[in-house]
Amino acid sequence: MGVINVTKTYLPNKEKYKSYIDEIYANGWVTNNGSLVQRLEKKLAEYLGVKNIVLVSNGTVALEIAYRTLGLKGFVITTPFSFVATTSSLVTNGLLPIFADIDKQTFNLNPKNIEKLITPNTSAILPVHVFGNACDVEAIDKISKKYHLKVIYDAAHAFGVRYKDQSILNYGEISTLSFHATKIFHTIEGGALIINDDALVKKARYLINFGIKNAEEIPELGTNAKMNEFEAAMGLCILDDIEAIHQKRKIVYERYRCELHNVVQMQTQNHNATQNYGYFPVVFKNETQLKKVETVLRKQNIFTRRYFYPSLDTLHYIEPKQYMSISRNIASKILCLPMYGELSEDIQKNIIDSIKRAVV
């Protein structure tokens, strides 16, 4: 039996990808806002139901461009329960992460913890729709308006998620996406910014291209964050298959849910939002139980992932030290199970049975 990982990169039909490569070879244009990048931007905006989308080279740089587009300074209130890039991108841009602890059922930043952390130095709130579970966007919206704070959603997990009949990506000033090979929709490496304000779109486009506006003007201090044509081609192929990907994942997801809902704790979903079946996190009674399951599965060549561990308030480079007890507790006992459309029913049954045996 081969190795089973937490996810498996989706690769589209090779002939279709090749036809795009042929197109790139024919016109000789490989990067710098090429026609495939432009086509993908248009198609994604339509599919997602958003006004403006700017494609970039990865999801981490999407966050960095978002901070710079909005001119953030000082403190940013964020969640300690996420992938490390959410926090590290703040630090590398000279911003100080101030953590607000999560809700122990949704695993998202708990809006009740935000207000007491706001100071005159706070410029923004950076929540994450963890595992694609929509945040309490209305509560966050209210607080941000009351205190004039910007909101950036790290929506790396939330591709295609809808909230009350519109894209979740329309909330906040900017939402960012990751199109890394491990995500549901990918462009090998890649990412995007969803920006509501048209003037800010222009600024973001300068920022991803060295700050350059035209042959004579360089109005912004920019960087290089461009997506290339080979990546856009991958995205165009996968976008054609997205409904089928979604349907297959849903079957796998529901099988887990049905078999395990009485066995382990699961994430409580926002009932105003749709799901995208990107991850299947389960929470054990304690870390000992988690390690037992991890070990049993590893012996069968099945590799789960401890998303997200450790809790980001434990990062050594964060000063001042902050202690997020709920995030640390969840992080110590949460495991993401293998979750992708091609996961066979037999292997899934093995995983489910192993968990049932290990937790008794």
The residues annotated with a catalytic role in the active site are 183
β partners of residue 76:
97, 124
Q: Which amino acid, 162?
A: R
Helix orientation angle between 14-27 and 35-48, rounded to the nearest 10 degrees: 130
Q: Does 187 bind ligand PLP (CB under 6 A)?
A: no
Of the candidates 170, 158, 176, 168, the residue with the CA atom closest to the CA atom of residue 61: 176
Q: How far is the CB of 129 from ligand PLP (least distance, A)?
A: 9
Count of Cβ atoms closer than 10 Å to residue 135 Cβ: 30
Q: Does 331 bind ligand PLP (CB under 6 A)?
A: no
Q: Does 34 bind ligand PLP (CB under 6 A)?
A: no
Q: How far is the CB of 107 from ligand PLP (least distance, A)?
A: 12
Burial of 314 (0-12, 13-18, 19+ CB in 10 A): middle
What the block records as the tokens of 224 is 């290089």
Q: Does 154 bind ligand PLP (CB under 6 A)?
A: yes
Q: Does 83 bind ligand PLP (CB under 6 A)?
A: yes
Among 52, 78, 133, 178, the residue binding ligand PLP under the rule CB under 6 A is: 178
Q: Does 340 bind ligand PLP (CB under 6 A)?
A: no
Residue 158 per-residue DSSP state: -
Among 44, 70, 76, 156, the residue binding ligand PLP under the rule CB under 6 A is: 156
What the block records as the tokens of 76 is 């940013």
Q: Does 128 bind ligand PLP (CB under 6 A)?
A: yes
Burial of 282 (0-12, 13-18, 19+ CB in 10 A): buried
Residue where the block lists tokens 């037992």: 292
Residue 142: φ, ψ to 5°: -60, -50
Distance CA 68, CA 309 (A): 28
Q: Does 59 bind ligand PLP (CB under 6 A)?
A: yes
Of 11 and 218, which has the nearer Cβ to ligand PLP? 11
CA 210 to chain centre: 25
Site for ligand PLP in 5-24 (CB under 6 A): none
Of 278 and 354, which has the nearer Cβ to ligand PLP? 278
What the block records as the tokens of 54 is 């700017």
Among 68, 150, 157, 333, the residue binding ligand PLP under the rule CB under 6 A is: 157
Residue 279 per-residue DSSP state: -
Q: Does 82 bind ligand PLP (CB under 6 A)?
A: yes
Instruction: Using DSSP, state whether 305 is helix, strand or coil.
Output: strand
Of 89 and 348, which has the nearer Cβ to ligand PLP? 89
Q: Which residues contact 32 (CB under 8 A, 6 or more apart)?
A: 209, 226
Size of the site for ligand PLP (CB under 6 A): 14
Q: Does 180 bind ligand PLP (CB under 6 A)?
A: yes
**Nearest position to ligand PLP, beta carbon:** 59
Q: How far is the CB of 119 from ligand PLP (least distance, A)?
A: 25
Q: Does 186 bind ligand PLP (CB under 6 A)?
A: no
Q: Per-residue x/- mask for ligand PLP, residues 85 to 124, rule CB under 6 A?
A: xx--------------------------------------
Q: Does 275 bind ligand PLP (CB under 6 A)?
A: no
What the block records as the tokens of 336 is 């993401």
Q: Does 191 bind ligand PLP (CB under 6 A)?
A: yes
Contacting positions for ligand PLP (CB under 6 A): 58-60, 82-83, 85-86, 128, 154, 156-157, 178, 180, 191
